[in-house]
Chain A
Amino acid sequence: MTLLGQFALWTGFILAAWGGVMAFVARWQERPEVALSIRRTTYAVLVAMLVASASLWQGLLSHDFNIEYVAGYTSRNLPTYYLITTFWAGQKGSLLFWAAVLSIFGALAQWLTAQRFRDLLPYVAGVTNIVAAFFIAVMLFGDHTNPFERLGFTPPDGRGLNPQLQNPGMVVHPPMLYLGYISLTIPFAFAIAALLARRLDAGWIIAMRKWAIVSWLFLSTGITIGMWWAYLELGWGGVWAWDPVENASFHPWLTLTAFLHSVMIQEKRGMLKRWNMSLIIGTFLLSIFGTFITRSGVIASVHSFTQSSVGYFFLAFLLVTGVLSFTLLYTRWGSLEPEAHLEAVVSREAAFLFNNLALVGIAFSVLWGTLFPIISEAVRGVKISVGPAFFERVNIPLGLFLLFLTGVGPLIAWRKASARNLQRQFIVPGIAFVVGLIGAWVAGLRGYSLMTIALGTFVIGTVLQEFTRGVRARMRMYDENVALALGRLMSRNRRRYGGYIVHVGIVCYFVGAVGQSMRVKESHQLVPGESVTLASPFGHPVTFTFLGVSQYEELNRQVSAATIEVHRPGKAQATMVAEKRQHFNAIGEKSFEPSTEVGLISSLQEDLYVYYHGTPDGTERSQFEFIINPLVMWFWIGGALLVFGGVLAMWPGGPQIRARQSDEMQAGYAVPLTESVATP
């Protein structure tokens, strides 16, 4: 089967390269059959990549340990679902996964895009094909990067899958992030196509808008599941460590979020055309850059990826793509004149512009911090690194400014906000802010935490006001009951109300972050029967009693499980189990280092988190880390809201929002009415 896979890779490479090159050199504008042929190569590449993927899966499932990838990442006793997901556990498989998913997205973009954009589509096919050809080329021509590479011998069993990856979160976290990165190719392809075809109206934005939301959704989900995985598997009780690999996924998320906002200004007012082009090109480049830093090892990270020359393929690709894209943008600069100018600094446009500056500012500071070891070595000859303290110092104030704008944006009128508009819009959210401020003060919060909660309630106040007004307007006009009015309001203005739900989700992440600053952490050595009491930041005591360690064998591992009983006043007694695991392969040899499963009890208020460090041989004294982790659950609630709002915003079949809406579309009370009336 590796022969078939290898053949599929070569076929895919030749097809993608042909389709890619033809799109840029052939005079297909006058020859519809050539244009069609270019577009059809995306489907052919898709077939080739599916065949290659099937061959790799076949090798994984049939334990063909002569294939180096299969031997390197699986073992005979690995459960089948992990065998399937091992496809993307290592670098070689990830490359194939990337190429295969890109070919799916590329084909979908051709298939789903409305015919009125057909003069963009051959160029779109060209870009997706070139990117696919690049990924296949890395597999074919890189050093130890071909997933079908065979070994000179056949080991009796494979190395097995890293236990830290044997976790449901890890099964979905990398592919989610990959899907986010990969799908960014499509908005980028439409941007390049619009530049090449000189179709620089808002058409390309309408054609790719949903793709941008899809990418954003995958990135957000990938990042959040990554936080969840880090929380459960890395054992330090935190969700985000500002590690370069984490930051690499955060950069494109930030610039894409900026794009999703600024694009609205282009749709409504014909402004910011150059900025939007730059943002989407930059976002795509940042996703490639992320792959480069995770794969090249130029920056020290705790993530242990196989490091190889592959990183430099990405660096070269990054530089070439960056230079070509921005040169192209420069040659079209004159055609991207704004159609309108900023009319007032107290306006929706200005609020969005400030939001963009803050988001890009955060992205820049995170990038600067991530690259600082390299920058300082180049400039001052000595490596200096910055840690979480740096990122928190810089990003908390910027994040709070952004949270403030999240509350302001939906309230303020387009073009120029009148005093009446401001008065009418800001009273309720303003009251919410004051209530939040007082409430958080009484609860004992100060400083940044206090501001976060106050601004959070301000944002919630804004969203609630928007929903209430929309629902009331529908109830009055159509005589609908509350539930029907709410349902129709949301389903007929999906992007708008989906966006508001996302805003609430973002507030939840901020609440989670406040909780992280109140974490209580203590190390203790206990013998069975011994207890320790920690004071929760919410004031009540939490008593942990160590009951003992039991040892047993399970599936592919030996487990030492420490049982701990938890007592809290006014709550039922609970037990939690923290495990140390040693994995074995089929012939009974130890595989990997011991791994740890934390004990966890979650609630909306706080998580109780126990990490078992082990019991020194010959003693009963066991070592534990006890953590009371407030408000962690709010990260996951925020994640769920992001997914819900994002899916709502991108759900197909919604009413077509015209490229430029009429000028009477004002913010606030006027909009939900006109929008809901305008759409049948």
Chain B
Amino acid sequence: MKPSTKFAIGAVVILGSVTLLITEGVKQTGTYFLTPTQLVERTAKDPSFHEVGLKVAAKVVKGSIQRDQAAERVDFRISDGTQTFPVTFVGHVPDTFTDDNDIDVVVEGKLDRNNVFQATDVIAKCGSRYEAVWDKQQSAST
């Protein structure tokens, strides 16, 4: 066998393993990443979605954050403008999680039968962090 053929076999084995690892990895670990509207639509169509762990990206409804520090529990509401639902999370939220201004969150968990999202993880980031503040100051100064 020519060396280049042998090499080609090796290359196919490597690239094949990469492909296999990727496709299996996606199958085993992929999670749905939905907006609140998509989540509500999908669960309405298929109630088994209540059991599926997934991620939802939305905005925190201003003023909805209620913290129970002793129980290390946070309740808040998230919305994409069309659909809104409550979220419960037991654990510690990141420092950036406040309702001072519009924050985007990604919550991971399940939407239970009472349509409360039981989060296992909350990732927060502040979106348009300082433009909003300038608008406030600007209107205050005029």
Q: Which residues of A contact B (CB under 8 A)?
A: 68, 72, 151-153, 155, 159, 164, 234-235, 300-304, 306-307, 341-345, 350, 353-354, 357-358, 361, 364-365, 368-369, 372-373, 376, 382-387, 389-390, 393-394, 397-398, 401, 523, 525, 593-596, 611, 613-614, 616-617, 619, 621, 623, 625
Closest to A368 in B: B22
Complex alpha-carbon distance, A185 and B93, angstroms = 40
Check B96 against A384 for contact (C-beta < 8 Å).
Answer: no
Evaluate contact between A155 and B7: CB separation under 8 angstroms. no
B7 vs chain A, min Cβ distance (A): 5
B121 to chain A, nearest CB (A): 10
**In the complex the two chains form, is A385's CB within 8 Å of B33's CB?**
yes
Q: Determine if A302 and B123 form an interchain contact, defined as CB atoms under 8 angstroms apart.
A: yes
Q: Are B127 and A304 in contact (CB under 8 A)?
A: yes
Q: How far is the CA of A151 from the CA of B133 in the complex (A)?
A: 13
Instruction: Please tell me if the beta carbons of B4 and A387 are within 8 angstroms of each other in the complex.
Output: no
Q: Which 9 A-B pairs have the closest CB atoms?
A: A616-B69, A361-B18, A345-B6, A383-B33, A385-B33, A389-B29, A304-B125, A390-B29, A394-B21
Other 13 A-B pairs with CB < 8 A, given A385-B55, A389-B29, A393-B21: A152-B138, A300-B57, A361-B15, A368-B22, A384-B26, A384-B30, A387-B31, A389-B28, A393-B24, A523-B92, A613-B92, A616-B69, A623-B69
- Determine whether the beta carbon of A357 is less than 8 Å from that of B21: no
Kindly identify which residue among B15, B33, B72, B133 contacts A357, using a CB–CB cutoff of 8 Å: B15
Residues of B within 8 A of A307 (CB): 127-128
Chain B positions within 8 Å of A384 at CB level: 26, 30-33
Q: Report how far A4 CA is from B16 CA in the complex, Å.
A: 57
Query: Quick check: B17 and A397 within 8 Å, CB to CB?
Result: yes
Contacts of A383 on B, CB cut-off 8 Å?
32-34
B55 touches A397 (CB 8 A): no
What's the minimum C-beta distance from A639 to chain B, rounded to whole angstroms?
Answer: 26
Decide if A623 touches B92 in the complex (CB within 8 Å): yes
Bound-state CA distance A86–B29 (Å) is 39
Tell me which of A235, A354, A358, A372 contacts B26 (CB under 8 A): A372
- The 10 listed contacts between A and B (C-beta, < 8 Å) are A72-B134, A155-B137, A159-B130, A372-B30, A376-B30, A383-B32, A384-B33, A393-B29, A394-B21, A523-B92
Instruction: For residue A291, give the distance in angstroms from its CB to the closest CB of chain B.
Output: 18
CB pair B38 A382 closer than 8 Å: yes
Question: Given A159-B133, A386-B26, do A364 and B33 touch, yes or no (CB 8 Å)?
Answer: no
Across the interface, do A616 and B14 meet the contact criterion of CB distance under 8 Å? no
Q: Is B95 an interface residue (CB 8 A)?
A: yes
Q: How far is the CA of A384 from the CA of B57 in the complex (A)?
A: 12
Partner of A623, one of B72, B98, B100: B72
Q: Which of B111-142 contact A (CB under 8 A)?
A: 123, 125-131, 133-134, 137-138, 141
Query: Is there an interface contact between B25 and A342, defined as CB atoms closer than 8 Å?
Result: no
Chain B residues near A345 (CB-CB < 8 A): 3, 6-7, 10
Question: A621 to B141, Cβ gap below 8 A?
Answer: no
CA distance A13 to B131 in the complex (A): 28
Residue ID in chain B nearest A361 by CB atoms: B18
Q: State whether A386 touches B25 (Cβ < 8 A).
A: yes
A308 to B101, CA, bound (A): 18
Contact assessment for A390 and B130 in the assembled complex, using a CB-CB cutoff below 8 Å? no
Q: Which of A68, A342, A373, A398 contacts B3 (CB 8 A)?
A: A342
* Min CB gap A530→B, angstroms: 15
B44 on the interface (CB 8 Å rule)?
no
What is the minimal beta-carbon distance from A633 to any residue of chain B, in angstroms? Answer: 26
A375's nearest neighbour on chain B, judged by CB, is B26
Contacts of A341 in B (CB 8 A): 3-4
Residue in chain A with minimal CB distance to B97:
A593
- Most B CB within 10 A of own CB, among A155, A234, A235, A300: A300
In the bound complex, how far is the Cα of B130 from the Cα of A354, in angstroms?
A: 48
**B38 cross-chain contacts in A, Cβ below 8 A:** 382
- Judge whether B29 and A361 touch: CB under 8 Å: no
| C-alpha gap A300/B22 in the complex (Å) | 21
Query: Of A234, A302, A354, which one neighbours B14 at CB under 8 angstroms?
Result: A354
Q: Which residues of B contact A342 (CB under 8 A)?
A: 3-4, 7
**Cβ–Cβ contact B70 & A303, under 8 A:** no
Residues of A within 8 A of B92 (CB): 523, 611, 613, 623, 625
What is the CB-to-nearest-CB distance from A319 to chain B, in angstroms, rounded to a whole number? 25
Q: Choose one: A306, A350, A621; the contact of B70 (CB below 8 Å).
A: A621
Q: Smallest CB-CB separation from B137: which chain A residue?
A: A155
Which residue from chain B places its CB closest to the CB of A591 in the assembled complex?
Answer: B133
With both chains docked as a complex, state the minimum distance between the C-beta of B41 and any C-beta of chain A, in angstroms: 11
Q: Which of A373, A393, A623 contacts B33 (CB 8 A)?
A: A373
- How many angstroms from the CA of A650 to the CA of B18 in the assembled complex? 33
Contacts of B6 in A (CB 8 A): 345
Determine the distance from Cα of A594 to Cα of B104 in the docked complex, in whole angstroms.
18
Tell me the smallest distance from the CB of A296 to a CB of chain B, in Å.
13
CB contacts (< 8 Å) of B106 on chain A: these are: 300
B129 touches which of A153, A304, A385 (Cβ 8 Å): A304
Distance in angstroms between the alpha carbons of A16 and B12 in the assembled complex: 45
- Contact A344–B95 (Cβ < 8 Å): no
Q: Which of B70, B95, B96, B127 makes the CB contact (< 8 A) with A619?
A: B70
The CA-CA distance from A372 to B23 in the complex, in Å, is 11
A613 to chain B: closest residue by CB: B92
Smallest CB–CB gap between B84 and chain A, Å? 20
**How far, in angstroms, from A383 to B54 measured CA to CA in the complex?**
10
